[in-house]
Amino acid sequence: MRKAGIVLVAAALLGTAAARADCDHPRDDFDDLYCLDKVYIQSDKDLNDAYGKLSKQLDANGKSALKKGQLGWIKSRNEQCSMKDDHGFWVNLDCATKTTVGRTQFLQDRYRECVSAGCMPSKLNDPD
């Protein structure tokens, strides 16, 4: 009986996910949020991949500059894309996604420089 209950719960969850899969035509704000969250999660994964790839090209000074730049960028992103008030904490996922995609492009550009012309640590701590 316990197995049947687990299967029903799993089926219900899959049905919910399938119902929300049409991000081209969201039904309401919660569907929009679900879809934006999926896009943000992927952009964050892409950012982490780009950071790791670039970091492997750098010496200790370069890695230090990269980390400093990344921490500055995180602070800037948080200031631009979130707010806190008496009603709660708010994150603008569209802003966070666009900002993250922009930072990923910045890191990819620095990686390309490292591979083609040599790494330039002076460019790595710019928080955009």
pLDDT tens by residue, 62-88:
999 999 999 999 999 999 999 998 989
3-state SS class at 121: helix
At 14 the pLDDT is 40
Query: 29-123 has which fold?
Result: Substrate Binding Domain Of Dnak; Chain:A; Domain 2 (1.20.1270)
Distance CA 41, CA 5 (A): 31
- Give the per-residue pLDDT at 126: 59
Alpha helices by DSSP H, listed for the chain, are 2-19, 29-55, 60-81, 93-116
Residues of the chain below pLDDT 50: 1-16, 18, 20, 128
**Tokens found for residue 122:** 């002076």
Tracing tokens 């800037």 back to the chain, one arrives at: 76
Q: pTM surpassing 0.85?
A: no
